[in-house]
Chain A
Amino acid sequence: NAGVTQTPKFQVLKTGQSMTLQCAQDMNHEYMSWYRQDPGMGLRLIHYSVGAGITDQGEVPNGYNVSRSTTEDFPLRLLSAAPSQTSVYFCASSLGGDTGELFFGEGSRLTVL
């Protein structure tokens, strides 16, 4: 059982480059979300989705785009990377409701030079 799979695990970008962080889950979860983790700030919600075709902004959405064309996949796009986006990114999924435990991917460490 793969759970939540994130790729790549490490990435170095130059300012202004674009990239996509991939996230896939095989648990048929409706809810998916992206968080970033910065030192001393915990995890902050970037974007989330409550089902295929439905996405919404979290606490820190600027500079990021998402889409949810299938239940399984929830990619996070950086259109023009900035040094402030250097962070560790976590994708999470959940069944929601009374079984609302978040299952996390292993994280993707992104460095923007």
Chain B
Amino acid sequence: AQKVTQAQTEISVVEKEDVTLDCVYETRDTTYYLFWYKQPPSGELVFLIRRNSFDEQNEISGRYSWNFQKSTSSFNFTITASQVVDSAVYFCALDPYSSASKIIFGSGTRLSIRP
């Protein structure tokens, strides 16, 4: 079965704290893509990152970093020194067929950053 699990429904932290959003996926395919999207209160979906299943290097982009571990089927997202503008719903997603047409989304994690 293809599935994405984001067990953390809501997270609330104080500004400047570090926070990690968990994502666990299931797929039998050996070639797949993983994504993270951000949905701010305005409602649009903003692409953050795409990772190929053959590339297990961690990625850092400013205050954002991603930890991909195939051994545990996880693709976790860390925000360092969080800011109020990071408040949003974050979705992890899986493209199990590398097709870009049947992407499976997790249920999302609502992140609230308190000033």
Residues of A that sit less than 8 Å from B by CB:
31, 33, 35, 40-45, 48-50, 56, 58, 88, 90, 94-98, 100-104, 106-107
Contact = CB atoms under 8 A, between A and B. Distances in A.
A43 B43 contact: no
B101 A33 contact: yes
Helix, strand, loop or mixed for chain A's interface? Answer: strand
A90 B33 CA distance: 20
B101 A106 contact: no
A43 B89 CA distance: 12
Contacts of A40: 9, 107-108
Q: Which of A44, A88, A100 has the most CB of B within 10 A?
A: A100
Given A97-B98, A100-B50, 6 more contacts: A33-B102, A33-B103, A40-B107, A45-B103, A101-B50, A104-B45
Nearest to B6: A42
A34 B95 CA distance: 15
A48 B102 contact: yes
A101 B51 CA distance: 10
A13 B45 CA distance: 25
B103 to A, nearest CB: 6
Contacts of B45: 90, 102, 104, 107
B100 A96 contact: yes
B44 A107 contact: yes
User: What 10 A-B pairs come out closest when comparing CB atoms?
Assistant: A100-B100, A94-B100, A96-B100, A104-B45, A42-B107, A43-B105, A42-B105, A48-B101, A31-B100, A31-B101
B104 interface: yes
B98 A94 contact: no
Given A40-B9, A42-B108, A97-B98, A102 B103 contact: yes
15 contacts: A31-B101, A33-B101, A35-B105, A40-B108, A43-B93, A44-B105, A45-B103, A49-B101, A95-B100, A96-B99, A100-B100, A102-B35, A103-B47, A106-B43, A107-B44
